[in-house]
Structures are given as structure tokens and as C-alpha cells.
Structure 1
């Protein structure tokens, strides 16, 4: 099977150019009835609290403080929207799986996320970020089941690659791919990234550039 990143245009370069352009915060939504109007294609990022989601968004865009990072799990309580050069919208979703958050607050966040996933026609793909040191957790599987039920295409991105021994990385990717075969809406590709040293970030940019090119060319999305 041909790796789609190796076929056709130079997707690595296309991704670099895409994320070299401006990217700016433009909206935050704490309620499902307060979402911005549907516009550019949306690429969302989900993951457990402290998985490194905001750090990865910053690494993708080459900015140190576009997405707010924190050592306090559960701090992101809204859907945060960033305009990527007018071609796409990046969406930083609330973290999940943090026990210290009140049940009431957790339920509120859950409703916001569910409503967003089920009723957002501009949403092209969700990247589910998983801590590469530990692999998939129960809360990750629950999120993926929600995405399956919502018929939202998603892909798994492993984070913190620099903290995983080189000898263990291939096995972690293979175990993740094996788990994805049980999820109907999962894209059969895993990208292993490090926000600290940039490993895997060009591949993620390329994945997004390819998605947008397919959308703009009328070819639909893959996965």
C-alpha cells in the first residue's frame, strides 16, 4: 500500500507552507449555542488533560503562545477557534479524563463536545491526541466511540515521542493501529510527534494539507 504522504504533490512542503502563514485566535465557545458561524473547514484536536494538546498546536503553527499551555489539568474549558490563513480553522477542544473536575462541570463540557461533534458540517477531522508513553486509555476509547457514533472522521496522534525509548516506538504505533481497527470512523494512520523537538510535526502538517487539498479539489476526505 502506498503511503499517501509519498504520493502526488509534496505534502510535507505543502504542510510547511500552510502553517507558515498567519494563524490567529478568533473565537471561544463555552456553550453549544454559542458556536461561531460555519465557515472554513475545521480541524479539531482532542485529548486527555495534560496530553500536550496546546503544546502541539503551538508546535504546528510555529508559535510559542498561540494555544495556552498550563500545568493545571482541565484548564481549557471551552472550544477555542484559530483561523489558519483563511484556509482552515483549528479547534482546541476541552481536555477529558481529569478526575478533579467537578461532575457538573464535566457534564457541561461533555454536552458541549457532543453537540459540536454531531452538528458541525464544517468539521473535517478530529485528531485524538494520546500520550505516547502510555498508549490508549479507557477515556481515549470512550472518546473514539463517541466519534464513531457521531460519524466524525478522526486520526490518532501520539505525543511526547521524545520521552519514549526509540526501541519501543514502533511497537507503540503498531499497538495503536491494532486498536484502531475496532473503530469504524478511525483513519488507519498513526503519527508519533514531539512538541519539544518537532519530530512528526511535519507529517501532521502534511496530513492536514492533504485533507484541505482534497476538500478544495472536490475529492472529499479519506478515511
Structure 2
């Protein structure tokens, strides 16, 4: 797999990224152009922290201890592209609203849910969804519901375990094996699990490599 330098392109990771748009409804989606990879997961699973660690920018995605703070599809792209003509960014990272947050008003939860599901079903440039699972809890019922939706929509997804620094190191391989067993019969699941820790920097290179491979870099 050729890297960015070999292809004569601006490197995707290691250079600054910027926030370009928050999308509260589908009519505000950017025009389809760059390939997209999205990050999904329960509220407080660590999506924003992972995106910040992945791009090496602490303040790129807003983090909060309050579940449900991310209420839009938030778009991030590598800096240095005009967004016009042939100078489109090669990809975008999309931070999706967390699911499973019961404390929000039902109308708000329903609106987030519709936004996310409509996006998943209708976005041709979406190449993969990285579904984040808190390693302390494993795959829960609401995670399974999302995986089933992705299977039905035929949207490729890969499981990313977060916060592995919060469990015993010896338990990580077992958790990976258990997670693989749970997804092995799911048609849209990519058959590999990535274990990460945003705080310790573990697994980030594996995730970057997976993203680059997904978009063909």
C-alpha cells in the first residue's frame, strides 16, 4: 500500500485537520465529493477523544463528560484544501451523534436517530462506519441494534474497542476474540477488531492504517 508521500499527496495524518460543518439535518450535508468514514457509538464511548487522538489535535472534536452533547453530524477534513475544483480533500471524518442516551427528550432522540439512519442509508460516499465499543462493557443491546441496521443497509462497518487502558491488559485479547465471535455472522461487519486507548495512544496507528486502506490510500 503506497503511502501519501509515494503518491505525491498531502499526508492525511500528521498534518492539521479542521472542522468544516455541523449537520443538524440532511439538507445541510456537504455535497458528495470526498470519501467519508464515520464514527458511531453509544454516548460517552469516547468518539470525540478518539478523533482528537487520531488526528493529533486535542481540541478538534469537542469532548464532554455530559452524554449526548454531540447532536449533529460533525465533519472534519485535512487542512490545506480549497474544496473547489480538483483541490477537494481526499476524505472526511464524520463524528455521529451518540446513541443510547435516555436522558434527552424523546423528540430530540428521535430527531438524532432519524438523521443518523437517513445518513447511513443514503450517503454514497460513505465508505465505512467505525462502531466504537467501550471495552469495559462490550457489545450491548443498543449496539446490536445499530449493527443490525448497518447490516440491513449494507453499510460496511468495523468494531473499534475504546478505553482499553481501563481494563487489564491480559483481558484485551480475550475481549477481541469475544467481539469477533459476536460479529462473525453479520454480513456487513469487517472481520477484524481494533483495540484502542486514546489516553495511552494504543491502536491509533492500526486505526489510521485501516482508514487509509478503506479509502484506497
Residue 23 of structure 1, CA deviation: 1.1
Partner of 1:195: 198
CA distance in 2, matches of 1:212, 1:115: 22
For 2:21, the equivalent position in structure 1 comes to 27
Gaps of 5+ in 2: 80-88
| 1:114 match: secondary structure | helix
C-alpha separation in 2, matches of 1:166 and 1:22: 32
Pairwise CA distance, 1:9: 5.0
TM-score (norm 2): 0.90
How many residue pairs match? The answer is 204
**2:100, 2:142 within 8 Å by CA — same for their partners in 1?**
yes
Q: TM-score, normalised by structure 1?
A: 0.88
Contact preservation (8 Å) 2:180, 2:192: yes
1:107-118 matches, cutoff 5 A: 107-118=110-121
Residue in structure 2 matched with residue 40 of structure 1 by the alignment: 34
Task: State the 1:183 CA deviation.
Answer: 1.4
How much has 1:213 moved relative to structure 2?
2.1
Which residue, 185, 202, 208 being the options, matches 1:205?
Answer: 208
Alignment of 1:179-190 (within 5 A): 179-190=182-193
SS at match of 2:77: strand
Question: Which segments of structure 1 move beyond 3 Å, counting only runs of 4 or more?
Answer: 8-11
Q: Aligned equivalents of 1:195 and 1:23: distance in 2? A: 17
The 3-state SS of whatever aligns with 1:175 is helix
Q: How far does residue 10 in structure 1 lie from its aligned partner after superposition?
A: 7.1
